[in-house]
Structure 1
Amino acid sequence: MWRTEDTVRLQTRSGRDATAVWMDLALAGMQLPAGVVLDGEAIVYIAGRIDFGAAQSRANSTPARARVLAERHPGHYFVFDVLRHPAHGDTRGWSYVRRRALLEHLLEEYGMGPPIQAVPTTTDVELARAWCEALQPQGVEGLVIKVGASTYRGGSRQWRKVRHAETVDAKVVGHTGPASRPRALAVRLPDGRIALSQALKAAPSAQMAPFLEGAGPGRQARTGGGDRYRAVDVDAVVEVLAGTTRHAVVTVTRVR
């Protein structure tokens, strides 16, 4: 989230401008002082639980559709870090502890609250474990462990994620259903097995359609367990829940 002199710009990790589909958060961000750059994540709550599918649907919608979705389920912006401050300039070279203190002061000074709020943090291991268990029913995936002295290096995996169910990346090698609206994906797991995913939610199905439609007709194939799928050659990777791969059935959580 960038607060410029005149407006607020929201940008995805890949650099795409997402302001138009998260306009409710952009308007809330106007309370921040010009020159602030925050690192965070836009989420959607449904029935008291974080719904990543709903957030992906918003991110992939048109601006008009996004306005309708925002009226039904407003967005929230969880702030992880402050990367630039009007009084201090670029803060990425600061330690995390120092950046966190600046972030908390910034949000308090400008009266920020929901929908823009900092994620909770602690140095108490037992409290962190309690949070991990207590927040799981709300859709929280787990914890991120950061070194207090660490600087901010965008794009690097310098922090450790602890998830309730470990995930792995898997290469897409095929699908079931029409390419324009795939029902499931065939993926190659890190151990080499090819597995058929459980039914895709609307958002990842829509995200995969452009890859599959451009891959040609493909050929009929079967997984090691005998499930039929159409094999295609696509340059696509998805994140799957490793906890569901015991019987070569996977759950796609997001498209990389």
Structure 2
Amino acid sequence: MLCPSTTDPALARQWLSWTAAGVEGLCLKRLEESYRGGVRSWRKYKVRVTTEAVIGAVTGSLAAPRTLLPGRYDRAGRLRYVGRSTTLSGAAGRAVADQLAPPRGAHPWTGWTFSAGWERRAPSMPSWCSRMS
């Protein structure tokens, strides 16, 4: 797919606000430079959107998590699944493992099935995603 390009910094900054439409960031290159396979001279600027969340589950084990499955509380006080992290390196998994603990009491996600492709989600997910603040 062809992507728009510009030399106008104001327009590029405007594109960075399109994260809701799927824009992850910008690729930057010199005007005289063309794409050369295997050569990494272009730069990437990724938009980072942050928010607070609770680690509701992990893949792997608590001692060596591979990915984190965060949740946020909705207005009714229910912990809702909101996504997953990228795969953690061994060092990052060990670093976060010290901060993890098993749930106290019944876990709110008991009975959920998370498939490898993450395509199966709780039926209510789309409605509460849009209401999160």
Higher helix share: 1
Asked whether the two chains share a fold, i.e. TM above 0.5, the reply is: no
Q: Which structure's CA Rg is the greater one? A: 1
TM-score, scaled relative to structure 2: 0.42
TM-score, scaled relative to structure 1: 0.23
